[in-house]
Amino acid sequence: MRHSSFRWLPGLVALPLLVNAQDLRVDDLHAVSSPATTILGVQPAEIARPKSYKALETALLTNFSSGSSWQIPVNYALEVTPYWFKPRDISVRQLMNPTTGASLKQSFSISVATGRRASLFDSTRTIQQVGFGLRATLFPGQLTTAFDTDLAALTSRIAIIAPARYILEAGRGKTFANGNALRAYLDKEFGIVINDRITDKAYIRDFTQLQIDVVESVLLGRYPENNAQCQLLLGQMILKLSDYDKTYKLAELAKKVERHYYFRKGFRMDVAAASSVEFPTNDFDYSTLAKYGIWATPGGSWIWNNVNLEVLGLVRFMSNQVVTDPTRNWDVGSRVAANWRRLSLSIEYIHRFQNTTLQRTSLPTGQTDRLLRSDQDYRLAMGFEYHLSDRFVLAYALGRNFSLNTEFNGNLISILSFNAGLSGPTVKIAD
């Protein structure tokens, strides 16, 4: 039985709870996270995403080698984005609003996935499959005006915290008799001026964990415990963080800025390509080309009365050599979604133009005739998603899948899944 997630954001893992009938690729109209799993129509328990060349080498050797020979793992998936194999000194704006060239580099990924399917001629046999895929974002869309507001707030907050770095540098190998000496040094060397003082250290008990870490490991630990003036000076600066925290919290601001990466306005387009090979005898030395395809998902989104309206299109060519009579399919469709803060509702329709190559052997001559037949098919599905948190998503999809000349029985789409998010790329933000 083949499973597929209903979530398109990178780094989500689907744990299907209920699946009926046939292959459920309900992510066809979504920005493809792993084309390799899409071409196979599977959703493994986990998608490995190595963040370095060494981690990639380890993943490949661990899963694809067995002693002195190669092996094909079962239900394994891997996706790498080479651009993020090393830290990038780029600004938040460069990351969030890249040029077309930068978007291609940042989003280009390579994916590999493995799976099994039942033989069409012998239901007791399974055939090993391996999928390969590429994907990239050509046009990521435009940032909303709220991005500038949230980025400015985040920048201001970081600016308030920034003096801690200078105090840390000032404290290395130096001794200050009192807070005034430290203040004079900061003013002279770094242009940091702090004039106010506090006398109530009880505020320290109410700091967030981040602020506690700053105080203990960065600030207070650098100075003598009996240096009261220095303690008060540092406490005053942290109090400013606490006061500011009542309006904007650093972690929440960072999440807001990050969300703008996914929720954009205007036109955007993703492209992807994938192919799969099969091993009919389950022998590594004998393989056949099973499927290959290329597709684009243009679309756009708009904000209307605090609702994010999203329209995605699909143009796809897919060749399927798995079925008894090979097919060449052109799919055209659209998906419309309304996204609230936690809730998302969608409906999608895909129309298929299928050309089937009919292979018939004439007896007694044994001559094989090939005839072309044209058919049309469609798929219609509705979706529901609810974000339990930033990392956990509950989703359900219901509808009708393609039914003509597929390698699966039935055409009912009914899938309930629970998606858990994994971490994305690490970015070093330049000053």
Cα torsion angle, 321, 323, 329, 331, sign: negative
Supply the pLDDT for residue 285.
Answer: 77
Residues 272 and 415 in one domain: yes
Angle (deg, nearest 10), helices 163-171 and 228-245: 160
pLDDT along the chain (431 residues), means of 10: 31 26 34 75 74 86 77 85 84 80 92 84 80 93 83 71 55 58 65 43 37 45 48 53 53 74 82 93 81 94 83 95 90 93 91 87 65 91 86 84 81 77 36 28
Domain count for the chain, please give it.
2
For residue 173, give the DSSP letter.
Answer: T
Residues 180 and 300 in one domain: no
Supply the pLDDT for residue 399.
Answer: 92
Task: Show the DSSP H helices in 162-317 as ranges.
Answer: 163-171, 179-190, 209-213, 228-245, 250-262
Name the one residue in this structure whose structure tokens are 């998606």.
419
State the amino acid at position 213 in one-letter form: D
Q: Are 275 and 262 in contact (CB under 8 A)?
A: no
The residue segments making up the domain with residue 317 are 12-144+263-429
Whether residue 113 is contained in a domain is answered as yes
Residues 159 and 288 in one domain: no
Supply the pLDDT for residue 191.
Answer: 59
Whether residue 4 is contained in a domain is answered as no
Residues 108 and 157 in one domain: no
Whether residue 6 is contained in a domain is answered as no
Domain C-terminal end among 228, 254, 280: 254
Residues 272 and 126 in one domain: yes
Distance CA 60, CA 48 (A): 10
Distance CA 119, CA 281 (A): 11
Domain C-terminal end among 237, 254, 271: 254
Domain C-terminal end among 212, 234, 254: 254
Residues 325 and 386 in one domain: yes
Distance CA 340, CA 206 (A): 33
